[in-house]
């Protein structure tokens, strides 16, 4: 979703006062439906990112949606504040938080942009992502999901735009937790997230119109990300869901069901073949991992991030040394 700059409410030079200091906004960096992110000058002169609720969007939104955005911002700040220092290896680090203009606000560590922009720049130069780096990134994101789930949340919006890149170390950090929901009770919920990357249970509602997700919904999104990094394109299933949602909104799921006589096939045989070909020496193991992550039935997906780690380890161990050296 496109971010909108709060030109009438917040502008360059605005001072945001949080619990531990003052932050001067320097330039907009982007954002999401409910939040906008600014590059800011932190106390002591360093740089950070400041995330604010998008008040210009709030002014046009209906009251229930405004309340939902406030709750999402509070939940995000509470989740990040509750992490231990060592949890920040693959999750964006919260520096400060508080209230600005009556709404939750956060100061976050500043990285080098998101993975979507990094990949776009690399592909514009004709460079594919090396297999060794893909495997490392998927392992890093899996570790981040482990922290999210251990903290009692399901993330529900895994995509390149929500992964921040440290270009120097080529590490990833998970960011933007506004869509996350508590795991307690794993209650069904209203629609949220990004259609291109969603598991069937997150895109296609139950008869009551709600969506029944759990950590395995995040594992599906990890599989979709894995395929995208390796093959350089969306799954056909994800592309179809995204296109339908952009054209028809909440009616997209019903229309796709009618067109396909049910939920469309999630993974095509030729997609598996193209994916496996990148893993010389471990074609079968890589394909098996992809199929497991992208199983249409959540019960057929990995039960835990440790299962994913083991399967990733098998792929890494069997990919031939020369293939990894050529990819690096």
Contacts of residues 304-307 at CB distance under 8 Å and 24 or more positions apart, as own/partner, are: 304/215, 305/142, 305/143, 305/145, 305/146, 305/149, 305/219
Asked which of 73-87, 222-236, 301-315 is least confident by mean pLDDT, the reply is 73-87
198-243 per-position pLDDT tens digit = 999 999 999 999 999 999 999 999 999 999 999 999 999 999 999 9
Q: Provide the pLDDT for residue 2.
A: 37
Q: Which residues contact 150 (CB under 8 A, 6 or more apart)?
A: none
37-68 per-position pLDDT tens digit = 999 999 988 999 999 988 777 777 777 777 77
Helix (H) or strand (E) holding 222: helix 215-231
Q: What share of the chain is helix, strand, coil (3-state, %, to 5)?
A: 50, 20, 35
Q: Which band of pLDDT confidence, cut at 50, 70 and 90, is reported for residue 320?
A: low
154-173 per-position pLDDT tens digit = 999 999 999 999 988 889 99
Determine whether 136 is exposed, middle or buried from the number of CB atoms within 10 Å of its CB (0-12, 13-18, 19+). middle
Q: Provide the pLDDT for residue 69.
A: 76
Task: Identify whether the C-beta of residue 313 lies closer than 8 Å to the C-beta of residue 138.
Answer: no
Residue 232 structure tokens: 């350089």
The overall average pLDDT reported for the chain is 90
Q: Provide the pLDDT for residue 9.
A: 65
Helix (H) or strand (E) holding 33: none
E-assigned strands of the chain?
15-18, 21-31, 35-41, 47-53, 94-100, 103-108, 153-154, 163-166, 171-174, 181-182
CATH class of 15-108: alpha beta
Q: Chain centroid to CA 314: how far?
A: 25
List the chain domain ranges: 15-108, 115-327
Question: pTM here?
Answer: 0.91
Task: Identify whether the C-beta of residue 49 lies closer than 8 Å to the C-beta of residue 40.
Answer: yes
For domain 115-327, give its CATH number from 1.10.510.10, 1.10.10.10, 3.90.1150.10, 1.10.1740.10. Answer: 1.10.510.10
């Amino acid at each position: 979703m496109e971010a909108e700059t709060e030109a009438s409410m917040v502008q360059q030079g605005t001072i945001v006062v949080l619990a531990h200091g003052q932050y001067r906004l320097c330039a907009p960096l982007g954002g999401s439906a409910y939040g906008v992110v600014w590059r800011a000058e932190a106390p002591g002169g360093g740089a950070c990112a400041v995330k604010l609720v998008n008040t210009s969007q709030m002014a046009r939104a209906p009251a229930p949606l405004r309340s939902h955005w406030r709750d999402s911002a509070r939940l995000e700040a509470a989740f990040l504040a509750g992490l231990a220092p060592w949890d920040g290896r693959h999750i964006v680090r919260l520096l400060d938080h508080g209230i600005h203009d009556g709404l939750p606000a956060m100061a976050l560590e500043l990285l080098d942009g998101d993975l979507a922009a990094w990949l776009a720049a690399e592909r514009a130069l004709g460079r594919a992502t090396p297999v060794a780096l893909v495997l490392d990134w998927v392992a890093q994101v899996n570790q981040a999901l482990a922290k999210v789930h251990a903290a009692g949340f399901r993330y529900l919006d895994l995509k390149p735009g929500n992964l921040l890149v440290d270009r120097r170390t080529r590490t990833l950090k998970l960011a933007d937790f506004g869509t996350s929901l508590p795991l307690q009770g794993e209650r069904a919920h209203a629609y949220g997230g990004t259609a291109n990357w969603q598991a069937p249970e997150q895109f296609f509602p139950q008869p009551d119109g709600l969506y029944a997700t759990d950590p395995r919904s995040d594992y599906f999104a990890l599989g979709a990300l894995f395929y995208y990094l390796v093959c350089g394109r969306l799954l056909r299933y994800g592309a179809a869901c995204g296109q339908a949602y952009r054209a028809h909104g909440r009616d997209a799921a019903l229309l796709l069901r009618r067109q396909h006589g049910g939920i469309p096939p999630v993974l095509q045989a030729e997609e598996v073949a193209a994916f496996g070909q990148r893993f010389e020496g471990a074609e079968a193991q890589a394909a098996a991992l992809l199929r497991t992550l992208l199983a249409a039935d959540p019960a057929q997906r990995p039960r835990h991030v440790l299962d994913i780690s083991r399967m990733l380890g098998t792929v890494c161990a069997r990919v031939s040394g020369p293939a990894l050296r050529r990819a690096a």
